[in-house]
Amino acid sequence: MQPSLDGVLVADFSRVLAGPLCTMVLADLGAEVVKVERPDGGDDTRHWGPPYVEEGSTYYLGLNRGKRSLALDLGDPADVALARELARRADVVVESFRPGLMARWGLDHETVARDNPGVVTCSISAFGSGEAAARLPGYDLLLQAMSGLMSVTGEPDGRPLKVGAALIDMVCGLHAAIGVLAALRARDRDGAGQRIEVNLMDSALAGLLNQGSAHVLAGVVPGRLGNRHPSITPYETFRAADGELAVACGNDAIFARLCAAIERPALATDERFATNSARLEHRDALGAELEARFATLPAAEWVTRLTDAGVPAGPIHDVAQAFAFAEELGLEPVVEVDGVRTVRSPLRLSGTPVEVRRRPPRLGEHSAALREWLSSPAPPGPPPAG
């Protein structure tokens, strides 16, 4: 079937994570993505390892499938001219340079749009395009620290912790992809392109979700609760006889089923625990009651009992166990293209299925063909297949 973004050409000047994730999503949806990289090393993530496999850094490989690589030296006027021609032919231009650099090369939205009025440009930055923001470096760790996310992650009496994956870069990259899709839809309707700006700080604050709205609406400054939830309980992890399990009770009815499943039905009618508000007020006492009971049996047995009783519960998997579990569910979480294994896109479209068409490219792998294409008159649309 024809992919959703078939015929859409994306000029990808981004690097590291947020931008490459955005353009990989677009590639998964059928766009033709040309990844522009500096000749002396390319995207930084090509060198972020270990782990490495034969094809390169697993970090880079996980973010760049479905693309072609064009090595350009943007300090060379001839290569800048090719970059401008690529932008002139593109439907979408994505970049994550420091504010002002794209304008220096004549690749900013206003300049590109003079010859390509339908172009959609997406600028990804750390803290926005303001003068003060432009001086601040943007790495996910710093954003987790500066956005407040680390302040609510970790044990109450422990150090602030970062999330174990680059969460803010991911949220930003997905917001960028959403913005591109919205702008393309508007262009289909109105015929005009537009500029999109996305930054890590805005994405981080939006990603705080209920923690952010608690502050904005009620003035709350939340702190660290370990694996506990600020507004629901029990919604946390508990130690069983041989490990830990996660239990999520989102309402009073589920809590009552939990009490019956652990053979402590009286807890559900105890005035300290009968409602969520009461449970939050007495959460330490409730936690002690539940932990004492969970300590009597292995985690797997509790997960089975609770699941059978309609109580959301699960084991704490490591990454290998998580992929194996997804396989057991029939999700087929890994796909292989040209010998490179990659994590399957979570998007499942019935009419225009996601397809990984290319393995991640080697640095400059497609430079010769793309340079020839950009140097020659060409009809509208993506470069020839290859």
* Residues designated catalytic: 169
Check: CB of residue 67 under 8 Å from CB of residue 35. Answer: yes
Show the 3-state SS of 239-301: ECCCCEEEEECCCHHHHHHHHHHCCCHHHHCCCCCCCHHHHHHCHHHHHHHHHHHHCCCCHHH
Please say whether the beta carbons of 107 and 95 come within 8 A.
yes
Biggest CA pair distance of the chain: 79
Which has the closest alpha carbon to 196: 188, 206, 187?
187
334 with 341: CB under 8 angstroms? yes
d(CA 63, CA 56): 12
H/E element, 366: none
CA distance linking residue 233 with residue 231, whole number of Å? 7
* Of 209, 215, 202, 255, the residue nearest 233 (C-alpha): 255
Quick one: which H or E segment has residue 153? Answer: none
The DSSP secondary structure of 41-55, one letter per residue, reads T-SGGGG--S-EETT
